[in-house]
Homo-oligomer: A and B are copies of this chain.
Amino acid sequence: MTLQLLEERIARDAKIPGPDILKVDMFLNHQIDTDLLWEMGMEFHKLFASENITKILTVEASGIAIACFTAKFFHCPVVFAKKGNHRNVGDNVFTADVFSFTKGSTCTIQVSKDYITSADTVLIIDDFLADGNASLGLKSIIDQAGARLAGIGIAIEKGFQPGGKMLRDSGINVQSLAIIESMDENGIVFAH
């Protein structure tokens, strides 16, 4: 379900500093246009309104803002997976290893066992979907908790990378607000 407002913003402002790199830090993941993200949250709520969502799960840091605005419409908590070892989380955690193409390295994400349980129906929200590794890591945590995965809401999917197909082929309801079919020096083409 395309969000036209987001596509227009990407078309207007996004930069492509290198192959497969989409720079949207002017409105999404460094500076945050909170009015735009509010609209995105409303759209995710429409898309998953029938799912009885009890938790929104994302990864720090750039997923937190979208997850929070989405959760506001569901009136449910956000849980954000932390990266690496944090002192105050404790040993009572679910973990998963995630390879990040942005950073070129693997990191461990972790979620306290107190905050995702078998009673939860969880919606994953993230800013980007490319190879799908972050989503798989979050799904692993949901599986470890015995919770139900209701679906995955993504702001920007790189449709030319394999994550979206892989996740949808496995039966997951993946909804991306903008899907980029191709991007290069000639511009950005969206899939509809």
Contacts and interface: CB of A to CB of B under 8 A. Distances in A.
A120 to B, nearest CB: 11
A58 to B, nearest CB: 10
Contacts of A177: none
Contacts of A82: 30, 61
Contacts of A79: 30-32
Interface in A75-110: 75-80, 82, 86-90, 102-104
A34 B75 contact: yes
Contacts of A88: 17, 21, 23, 25, 102
Interface string A48-73: 00000000000011001100110110
Given A25-B112, A88-B102, A102-B88, A68 B65 contact: yes
